[in-house]
Structure 1
Amino acid sequence: MPSAVTVPQRVRRPATPRRRGDLLLVLIALCTAVTAANIYVAAPLLPLIAHDFGSTPSAVAWIASVAQFGYAAGLLFFAPLGDRVNRRRLVAALSLVTAAALTAGAAAGGTAALAAAVLVASAATVVPQLLVPLVAERAPAHHRARHVAAVIAGLFTGIVAARVLGGLAGQAFGWRAVFLGAAVLTAALGLLTAAALPVEHRRPREGGLLTGLRTMPALVRRSPDLWRACVRQAGMYGAWSALWTSLALLLTGEPYGLSTATAGLFGLFGLAASVVAPLAGGLVDRFGAAKVVRTAYVLAAVSVPLFWLGGHALPALFVAAVAIHAALVASHVANETLALTTTSAPATANSAYVVAGFAGGATASALAGLAFTHFGWGGVVTVAAVWLAVGWSTTAVRR
């Protein structure tokens, strides 16, 4: 009998580890974008919140500051736990707490209840700072900075989306709907990301919430590279914060007189950071973190006189805004990659690094506000220039 001719069938091959890793990286970047947006979700909604509570925007502006303090507390207490506990459970738990707090904020009947909800949500929304060390730990050594850059790009995209899309959505559906939408997205993506994270077989280390805070100073002292990354990013982030937080005062006053909504569109320049981040990651992998940070500082220094010129020429502000965002994210990718790879406690080291940058930015913003009041836009530019000079010169003289 003639033998049957078998037709070769196309066999579906299982996903390769590399492909699964790429999909996980995309999911982490998306989760980072949504989570980071929660820190700034209240800022563009302040006029709507004030109108709903029968107040003025200036009277409820402190709620946005509460979010910053909450995030700082989360960085100090929750983010270092990534070195000691299972990150899958921690990401899931913090995502649910954030979603519950945002839901409570949507139902708040007054500013005190809303501020409390924002404080809890911001403190629990440190999920990105748990995921970045994991990404750096599992990435191939020659692509580590690129993987870190992908997460950082998601973070900056989320910040821009919160400031631009959040305001538009609030105008269309109300600020309470924006809070509810953020809660749903946070819970869904947080739980999905937690389920997709690799299983970690490690015994939880002893220590409470204050353990990471106590070990940070000694960790920074023992690692000159970590210390250098912290100081340089504090200088860079401080310069950016001084200029960017005061820009609305320049645009809505003389000589431009733009509306608040039009001035808010300058936030779209933040998308330059999302574009530059992958490029910066490739440069760090190829040339090293030190060269990229040096180039970023040069670019930031060039942007300072452009910002000064922008006090009278709007096109100069366009160029300066792109330059300062490119410098900030390039420096961030390089410094954070360095911070994550110089110690045996990457989550604690990353927390110290982010706290240092946050402290530099908050201090420079406060000084910039005083400088604008007494010296105008030129005073703000001077604060930014001084912050850059201190950040670089301090690290340049220490071996």
Structure 2
Amino acid sequence: MPVQENRPGDRDARPGGPERRSDRFERSEQEKRAGQEKRSVRARLLLPLIAVCTAVTAANIYLAAPLLPLIAHDFGSTPSAVAWLASVAQFGYATGLLFFAPLGDRVNRRRLVAVLSLVAAVALLAGAAAGGTYALAGAVLIASAATVVPQLLVPLVAERAPAHRRASHVAAVIAGLFTGVVAARVVGGLAGQAFGWRAVFVGAAVLTTLLGLATAFVLPRETRRRGGPLFAGLTALPGVVRHSPDLWRACVRQAGMYGAWSALWTSLALLLTETDGYGMTTAAAGLFGLFGLAASVVAPLAGGLVDRFGAAKVVRSAYVVAAVSVPLFWLGGHVMAALCAAAVLVHAALVASHVANQTVALTATSAPATANTAYVVAGFAGGAIASALAGTAFSHWGWGGVCVVAGAALVLGWTATLARRR
């Protein structure tokens, strides 16, 4: 019988050939399914993890505020004399936003998030070891400047969200931010009273490391980055704001709103703990921050209202609520019920305004990352200036002076935008 030869190109005729090809196909399918499942898990974790990471990093910015009485006692000073540390944190955050947030369009975002988280953690540890006010201020400045991870990720959240749900997705991140603010006051105050303010800084460093690295891990891989100079986004900021009236209005109005909130909230520990005020302990004063949970509740509601009625109506309503809260805060210098009501109102106003204005900022231009940087820098610059003025006002004129600073911030934020519109 003639012997059948196997030709080199006849793979099916090779012994075991079909089995090997089948095995390869099956392995390929398994690897593909595993990759899809891994990407699906990361996608589901992305928004919740960004929200939690936002809470932790926001807490870092306000970490010193509820601990001012303990810091002052440790350094042999008075709480009002170290109140400027709160504004240092906000100036640091604004500076970090100005330089680092635009880099999200030009460098690997996963690597940037991981590096900034580690820098913030190291700075917090340095703050825990600080031997004086100025050393602590330097550590707080660096930690706050590196704590810009949420604002690197908000444009990503807005980009991936459906258009009709964009404000709601942004609101989820903002809810995390204000939850962190509450945690900084409540947990920070309780832990500071129990273990000392230095232990609070160490704990914040540990959480920042864990959440920052976890967030970097779940971020989608980016293969293409925009070319050009590294800080081109920074140099483009003035032009982007100048050519977008909607963005400019959002920046100024949020600066006024955030300035009013910062003046009141960063000075509140002084009113609650000083003997001329309510004479509370640091832990008791920290529990007052639970009223800030109103912000976490209002955020998703505000997102739905912006999606349904538009940002302009929500911002107007927020300014009315904030204007009502200022005289209530003044009355709260002597009446605890008024102080509690004012704390709820000012948080509701701030978060509603923030959701609306940030949604406008993210959609007003063709450069959302740069526009978001301009918006958040404007807000935190307004908050830092108002906090610094409020500390001086409290030293000279007491709680009434703080309320005047807050009212002036609201007036400037609203009237400046009216003048630009005309």
Q: Say if 2:47 is the partner of 1:25.
A: yes
Checking the alignment, whether the CA contact within 8 Å between 1:255 and 1:312 is kept in structure 2 is no
Where 2:364 maps in the other structure, the secondary structure is coil
User: 1:56-111: per-residue Cα shift (whole Å, max 9, x none)?
Assistant: 35465554443333222211111111122221111111112222222333344555
Q: How does 1:198-277 map to 2 (within 5 A)?
A: 198-209=220-231, 211-252=232-273, 256-261=277-282, 262-277=284-299
Q: Which moved more, 1:42-51 or 1:225-234?
A: 42-51
C-alpha change, 1:115 and 1:300, in structure 2 (3 Å) is closer
Where 1:257 maps in the other structure, the secondary structure is coil
Q: Which amino acid aligns with 2:101?
A: A
Where does residue 6 of structure 1 map in the other structure? none
Where does residue 348 of structure 2 map in the other structure? 326
Where does residue 5 of structure 1 map in the other structure? none
Q: Say if 2:153 is the partner of 1:102.
A: no
TM-score by length of 2: 0.82
Match among 171, 175, 178 for residue 200 of structure 2 = 178
Q: Which moved more, 1:158-167 or 1:174-183?
A: 174-183
Checking the alignment, whether the CA contact within 8 Å between 1:86 and 1:204 is kept in structure 2 is no
TM-score by length of 1: 0.86
Checking the alignment, whether the CA contact within 8 Å between 1:43 and 1:163 is kept in structure 2 is yes
Q: Any unmatched runs of 5+ in structure 2? A: 1-35
Q: Which amino acid aligns with 2:188?
A: G
How far apart in 1 are the matches of 2:47 and 2:153?
10
Where does residue 101 of structure 2 map in the other structure? 79
C-alpha change, 1:22 and 1:294, in structure 2 (3 Å) is farther
Q: Which amino acid aligns with 1:219?
A: V
Q: Deviation at 1:148? A: 0.6
Q: Any unmatched runs of 5+ in structure 1? A: 1-13
How far apart in 2 are the matches of 1:124 and 1:386?
30
- Percentage of identical aligned residues: 77
Checking the alignment, whether the CA contact within 8 Å between 2:42 and 2:218 is kept in structure 1 is no
C-alpha change, 1:98 and 1:367, in structure 2 (3 Å) is closer
Checking the alignment, whether the CA contact within 8 Å between 1:157 and 1:274 is kept in structure 2 is yes
Q: Say if 2:361 is the partner of 1:339.
A: yes
Match among 150, 153, 165 for residue 131 of structure 1 = 153
Q: Which moved more, 1:355-364 or 1:72-81?
A: 355-364
Checking the alignment, whether the CA contact within 8 Å between 2:157 and 2:170 is kept in structure 1 is yes
Q: Deviation at 1:47? A: 4.6
Runs of 4+ in structure 1 off by over 6 angstroms are 14-19
Where does residue 381 of structure 2 map in the other structure? 359
Q: Deviation at 1:128? A: 1.0
Match among 66, 73, 90 for residue 88 of structure 2 = 66
Instruction: Give the RMSD, CA atoms, in angstroms.
Output: 2.8
Checking the alignment, whether the CA contact within 8 Å between 2:86 and 2:266 is kept in structure 1 is no
Where 1:105 maps in the other structure, the secondary structure is helix
Where does residue 23 of structure 2 map in the other structure? none
Q: Which amino acid aligns with 1:127?
A: V
Where does residue 188 of structure 1 map in the other structure? 210
Checking the alignment, whether the CA contact within 8 Å between 2:237 and 2:370 is kept in structure 1 is yes
Q: Deviation at 1:260? A: 4.3
How far apart in 1 are the matches of 2:179 and 2:44?
19
Q: Deviation at 1:50? A: 5.2
Where 1:78 maps in the other structure, the secondary structure is helix
Matched positions, count: 385
Q: Which moved more, 1:253-262 or 1:118-127?
A: 253-262
How far apart in 2 are the matches of 1:374 and 1:117?
28
How far apart in 1 are the matches of 2:309 and 2:39?
27
C-alpha change, 1:366 and 1:291, in structure 2 (3 Å) is same
How far apart in 2 are the matches of 1:308 and 1:379?
9
Q: Which amino acid aligns with 1:205?
A: G
